[in-house]
Every structure is written in structure tokens, then in C-alpha cells.
């Protein structure tokens, strides 16, 4: 199995960093080929612009989808984006490791999606959802929160976590064809003691050992 882990956190000693290194270690031990993008270490620039491309379709007006379709035809994506796209294209399972920020992806990871999920290459031309380019591949969100678990239940003060994650699950991952696995969520690691945090890392590691046997969660039913 080829696994691609996209990870962002600004602190290398964070709990997210520990989850990222747990995933790399455990998956490698299962014999998986693991490729990673540590977006903070890479100083990944999240801002979409002409630097996405080595080619130019229209020098007078920047319309990103048109430049993306042109770059798809003429192999004109920047080296940085080409590398990310190839990691996406060769993986069987993609994992995103991140802290929940403002009920969504932190900006650098969101910008990675903006830049890498390019029209023509990653979606479009009728290839979306069930016919998406990445059908047959699976994706897993692995995230941490500041708020406690009961705040993210249906009647909790933040509302159902599955509703909060739906724009990512449906609008990004399923949109480009991925099957989505149940998210791995560690609620409020900052409020745990070391022993509880270690248990969470063990729980994640044990799940990853058998991740190839997991079935996706149902489309549109969460």
C-alpha cells in the first residue's frame, strides 16, 4: 500500500507532530510505502497565483481554472505542485494530519488544496465524485481539537463534528473521487495528561496497523 501523509502544524514538538510521526512509523512497519509532505518544514506557500505554473495561457487575465487546464495539457505545473500531484496520484491512501482551526483546515493546508487540486488534472471534465479521478483511493482526516468531545455532539455547543467536517469530506475529498474513512479525532489533547495522550497515540497506531481492512463511511449520510 502506498500512503501519502500531508501534515501541517507550526510546532515540531506539538501533539500533531507526535501523531504524524506515529503514523509514519507504524505504517512503515506494516510494509507500506510512505510519502509525506510536512508543509511547515517545506515552508509551503499556500497562496495561488501565476507561480503555480511554468506556462501561460492568457498573460492579460489570470483565470486559475483555465491556466490549470492549459498546464494539464502541456505539463506546465510548477515543480512544487508537480511533486505534490505525483504523490497524490501514486497513493492508495491519503492522510491529512492537522489541528482544527476555525472549524476547518488551517490556512496552509487549505492553500495546499487550493493549489494542488487543479482543474483538468485532479478534477473536471465530468470527472467528479463517483467518477472522480481518484476513485478507488481512500482518504483519512486525522485531527485534533481544542474543544472537548461533548461540545462536538449533535446537541453540543459547537454542533456535530461530522457536519463541521462535511465541507472537507464532501467538497474536497469525495469531490475528487476519494472514498472517505471515519475521521481520527483526538479531542482536546492539551487538557489530557501525558498518559492519556500516549493512549491516544497507541489507539491511532493500532488503527493504522489494520487500516487497509477498513471500509469507507457512507456518502452523504453523515
Ligand X SMILES: Cc1cc2nc3c(=O)[nH]c(=O)nc-3n(C[C@H](O)[C@H](O)[C@H](O)COP(=O)(O)OP(=O)(O)OC[C@H]3O[C@@H](n4cnc5c(N)ncnc54)[C@H](O)[C@@H]3O)c2cc1C
Q: Whose CA is closest to 119, among 159, 162, 176, 34?
A: 176
Q: Is 146 in the site for ligand X (CB under 6 A)?
A: yes
**Which one of 37-45, 65-73, 85-93, 141-149 is the stretch in contact with ligand X (CB under 6 A)?**
141-149
Q: Is 142 in the site for ligand X (CB under 6 A)?
A: no
Q: How far is the CB of 45 from ligand X (least distance, A)?
A: 19
User: How far, in Å, CA of 173 to CA of 135, rounded?
Assistant: 10
User: How far, in Å, CA of 179 to CA of 175, rounded?
Assistant: 10
Query: Binder to ligand X among 15, 20, 53, 134 (CB under 6 A)?
Result: 15
Q: Whose CA is closest to 4, among 112, 95, 99, 105?
A: 95
Decide whether 101 or 222 has the Cβ nearer to ligand X: 101
Q: How many residues bind ligand X (CB under 6 A)?
A: 21
Residue 123 main-chain phi, psi, to 5 deg: -160, 170
x/- map, 186-205, ligand X, by CB under 6 A: ---xx---x--xx-------
Q: Is 20 in the site for ligand X (CB under 6 A)?
A: no
Q: Could you say which residues in the range 67-126 bind ligand X, by CB under 6 A?
A: 99-103
Burial class (CB in 10 A: 0-12, 13-18, 19+), 171: exposed
Contact partners, residue 12, CB within 8 Å, separation at least 6: 40, 41
User: How far, in Å, CA of 222 to CA of 207, rounded?
Assistant: 21
Q: Is 145 in the site for ligand X (CB under 6 A)?
A: yes
Decide whether 172 or 176 has the Cβ nearer to ligand X: 172
Q: How far is the CB of 1 from ligand X (least distance, A)?
A: 25
Residues of this chain that bind ligand X (CB under 6 A): 9, 11, 13-16, 18, 99-103, 144-147, 189-190, 194, 197-198
Amino acid at each position: 500500500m502506498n500512503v501519502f501523509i500531508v501534515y501541517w502544524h507550526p510546532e515540531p514538538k506539538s501533539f500533531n507532530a507526535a501523531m504524524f510521526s506515529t503514523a509514519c512509523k507504524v505504517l512503515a512497519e506494516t510494509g507500506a510505502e510512505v510519502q509525506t509532505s510536512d508543509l511547515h518544514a517545506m515552508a509551503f506557500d499556500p497562496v495561488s497565483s501565476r507561480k503555480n505554473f511554468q506556462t501561460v495561457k492568457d498573460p492579460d487575465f489570470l483565470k486559475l481554472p483555465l491556466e490549470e487546464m492549459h498546464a494539464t495539457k502541456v505539463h506546465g505545473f510548477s515543480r512544487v505542485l508537480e511533486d505534490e500531484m505525483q504523490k497524490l496520484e501514486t497513493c492508495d491512501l491519503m492522510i491529512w494530519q492537522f489541528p482544527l482551526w476555525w472549524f476547518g483546515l488551517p490556512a496552509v493546508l487549505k492553500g495546499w488544496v487550493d493549489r494542488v487540486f487543479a482543474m483538468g488534472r485532479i478534477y473536471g471534465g465530468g470527472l467528479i465524485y463517483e467518477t472522480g479521478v481518484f476513485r478507488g483511493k481512500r482518504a483519512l482526516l486525522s485531527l485534533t481539537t481544542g474543544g472537548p468531545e461533548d461540545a462536538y455532539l449533535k446537541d453540543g455547543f459547537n454542533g456535530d463534528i461530522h457536519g463541521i467536517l462535511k465541507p472537507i469530506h464532501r467538497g474536497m475529498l469525495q469531490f475528487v473521487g476519494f472514498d472517505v474513512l471515519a475521521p481520527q479525532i483526538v479531542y482536546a489533547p492539551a487538557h489530557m495528561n501525558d498518559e492519556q495522550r500516549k493512549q491516544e497515540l497507541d489507539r491511532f497506531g493500532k488503527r493504522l496497523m489494520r487500516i487497509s481492512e477498513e471500509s469507507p463511511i457512507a456518502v452523504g449520510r453523515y
